[in-house]
Structure 1
Amino acid sequence: MSKRKPQPPPKTFSVRPKRSLRHTLPFGLLLILILAAFSFTSYESYASLYDADYVGVEVCADCHTIMYDRWKDSPHANMTHQPSPETVVGDFNDSSWMLPPEGQLLPYDDELPAMRTFTEGADFYMALRRPGTADFTSFKIAYVIGYQYRQTYLTLEEGGSLAPPPPAMVYRTARVLPLLEPPREQHPHSRRFVGANDHPQFGVEPVLCPVPHHQLRHSGP
């Protein structure tokens, strides 16, 4: 009769007590702080992304050739430009304009022009005579608005704002249309246009109209 093999003692299991919340909370907070620190070091602000990533609309032509060609020839793309021989349609070839006879009411009105336009190097200027005097004030043209039917010229003032001089509209035929709202004190040079510097490229998105609520005062069609 064979001997029975001795059986091993039964295994015993011990149940570890659950850790209380006060023991696990510090580890959770530490993990959150580590993740937050990593996210802040790898985050780049929206403003820096906006400035750094803008590459111009020309890169769109590779994938959107048809739409780019349509946009390039549209009024939206050509409405606002910096002044150049290609973008300025008014007569800035040392030209001058006299007031009409019915408007010659003050001294020098029948002797000197009310406005002169000229260029100095690559810059375009509009000089306006102060009413009743022989003194002219020159305005350097900073931007041109319009390219088909009439064109507004904006000048840069102190503080960075843009404003159109009173005789701001010039047709392709060099016809001057004064932007005046009677009485004389309500000239549009009191208007301000500050939207241009906020946009990286003209013609991509609309900006505030530079001469709102003005009435053109002229004769004929």
Structure 2
Amino acid sequence: MRVLVVDTALGLCTVGLFEAGAGDDVRCLGLRSEPMSKGHSERVAGFAREAMREAGAGFDAIDRIGVTVGPGSFTGLRVGLAFAQGLGAALDRPVVGISSLAALAASAGAGPVAAVIDARRGQVYARFMVDRVASGPDEALSLEAAAARIGGMPAGSRLIGSGAALFAEAFPDLTAEPRAGPDPGALARLVAAADPATAAPRPLYLRAPDAVPSTRLPGQARPARPS
């Protein structure tokens, strides 16, 4: 199966074509990935063309498309979703959504893993896994709650993601791997294993957006403040 992976949800812009075989066997055919905090919309289509050119294949060679759906940057993840869904519709190919935290955890391999994304405002997004089996859902946790969970992990466990550095000093017996985004090969393995019937490409938000839509109609005066 040839899978195209798209990741714009965190600090990277990544598009890659992979040949997925049996089990965890994946082979990179073409890849473009750069650190990027904004501007994904201007680059993602070009990255896809370059990855396919490197692979020496046309877009009709794609069997499945996978995209990270968050948690992550509100704008970034929606750019990736729009591109993946548009390409899937044009090619008539299935599109699957993969949690950013699941992809980060898969990047760390087997054993006890905490995937943690710095969510700012005293919070992290987190997923805890043991031997690639999640011990619970993706969560938004306070730093204190996350530290309590991480403190219960055995020595040698791995912390991975942009939030790993927040806990590295407090837990020196754990291996911290700050990453701007998931490993594309790990993402490709998840995409190949996903069930298109259940892995819908929908945004995954773990807290409400910072911006709140106005409740006033255009031209309507602001309500008077109580005296």
TM-score by length of 1: 0.22
Larger RCO (alpha carbons 8 Å, 6+ apart): 2
More strand by share: 2
